[in-house]
Amino acid sequence: MTARVLVEVRGEDAARWRAALAAALPEARFVSSAEREVDYLVTWKPAADVFEHTLVRKAIFNLGAGVDHLLRVPGLPASVPIYRLSDAGMAAQMAEYAVAAVLRAFRGLDRYAASQAAGVWQPQPARERGSFGVGVMGAGVLGRAVLAALRPFGFPLRAYARTARAIEDVHVFGGDDLASFLSGCAVCICLLPATAATRDLFDARTLAWLPRGGHFVNLARGELVVDADLVAALDSGALASATLDVFRTEPLPPDHPFWHHPRVTMTPHVAAITLLRESSEQVAAGIRAVEAGAEPPGRVDRARGY
């Protein structure tokens, strides 16, 4: 029987996603949301009532790396497996962004920008790379790609992962070791998923575990950070900078202090853009795998929350 697929993406991208998925999976029947029963739901941030009118039989594919939005949708069927994108062109983008942020911090480019704005010619002393620790939180596909991209620069690398596993040339810290991990991060790059265990993880207490003058980079979810505590750490000079791609509310409200903070560099959730062709091909391969009785990559563990 032909697989029935519902693509539930809202906004201006919806038609592009439907066309790309239909091209990647020509053997399927793409149905409208009027259909009561489908085999597959392919979605990004679906409407809150999607499961009121749609029964999903076989699997849900999330068009993104993070499933925190999806796991909050009422009526999410408990027995249907969920798959999320795994890399699909995002790892290279994350790596580029993270390397740019680390090098900007290491070479003091923000200070030179401030000097230029003030019309001041002010060389800074060279830094010792061997004592400039760079830490990555989250050692999944994206975290490992970021670590690999950083390796050629010779910084001491560390990683923080729920379950510590060996990574070549990287000092890996496990779940209970957050304070030791953060204390060695001249730059801390957060790639952790938003779960019950990570929400508000970066507050006054944990931010204070970073070395004085450290740099905080959040490429994961805004919910991980207590904004007022981060602003206080930047205001006091405890932290030299924050590079933020994600926020509790997106778009960031116009009156939020991050917008004009001199120590904050912001981008609008673009560190790793979901790529249409790569993602559609991955979902198509996943649907074909399920149809063939195999297990595609990227299965979400609902108890863990990612």
Contact call for residue 211 and ligand OXD (CB under 6 A) = no
Our CB check for ligand OXD shows the closer of 54 and 274 to be 274
CA–CA distance, 159 with 181 (Å, rounded to integer): 8
By CB under 6 A, the residues from 99 to 128 that bind ligand OXD are none
Annotated active-site residue in 18, 84, 104, 221: 221
64 binds ligand OXD (CB under 6 A): yes
273-302 positions binding ligand OXD, by CB under 6 A: 274
Q: Choose one: 63-71, 102-110, 152-160, 174-182; the region binding ligand OXD (CB under 6 A).
A: 63-71
Determine which one of 199, 269, 288, 299 is catalytic: 269
Question: Which of 240, 272 has the CB closer to ligand OXD?
Answer: 272
CB nearer to ligand OXD: give 66 or 298.
Answer: 66
Tell me if residue 221 is catalytic.
Answer: yes
The nearest distance, CB 101 to ligand OXD, in angstroms, is 17
Q: Which is nearer to ligand OXD, 66 or 135 (CB)?
A: 66
- CB closer to ligand OXD out of 96 and 291: 96
Name the one range near ligand OXD by CB under 6 A: 59-67, 151-159, 182-190, 229-237. 59-67
In this chain, which of 28, 65, 191, 201 binds ligand OXD, going by CB under 6 A? 65
Stretch that binds ligand OXD, among 30-38, 58-66, 178-186, 205-213 (CB under 6 A): 58-66
Residue 257: how many other CB atoms lie within 10 Å = 14
**269 catalytic residue (yes or no):** yes
Question: In the bound complex, what is the minimum distance in angstroms from residue 241's beta carbon to ligand OXD?
Answer: 22
Residue identified by tokens 């050692």 is 139
Binding of residue 43 to ligand OXD (CB under 6 A): no
- In the complex, least distance from residue 22 CB atom to ligand OXD, rounded to whole angstroms: 21
Cβ atoms of residues 174 and 139 within 8 Å: no
How many CB atoms are located within 10 Å of the residue 204 CB? 13
Minimum CB distance to ligand OXD smaller for 65 or for 187: 65
Three-state secondary structure of the chain = CCCEEEEEECCCCHHHHHHHHHHHCCCCEEECCCCCEEEEEEEECCCCCHHHHCEEEEEEEECCCCCHHHHCCCCCCCCCCEEECCCCCHHHHHHHHHHHHHHHHHCCHHHHHHHHHCCCCCCCCCCCHHHCCEEEECCCHHHHHHHHHHHHHCCCEEEECCCCCCECCEEEECHHHHHHHHHCCCEEEECCCCCCCCCCCECHHHHCCCCCCEEEEECCCHHHECHHHHHHHHHCCCEEEEEECCCCCCCCCCCCHHHHCCCEEECCCCCCCCCHHHHHHHHHHHHHHHHCCCCCCCECCCCCCC
Q: What are phi and psi of 234, to 5 degrees?
A: -75, -40
**Considering only 60-68, 140-148, 197-205, 207-215, which stretch makes contact with ligand OXD by CB under 6 A?**
60-68
Kindly tell me which of 20 and 105 has the beta carbon lying closer to ligand OXD: 20
Site for ligand OXD in 235-274 (CB under 6 A): 274
Tell me if 98 contacts ligand OXD by CB under 6 A: no
| Structural tokens at position 288 | 């074909």
Q: Which two three-digit tokens encode residue 69?
A: 């939005």
Binding interface with ligand OXD (CB under 6 A): 64-66, 274
What are the catalytic residues? Answer: 221, 269
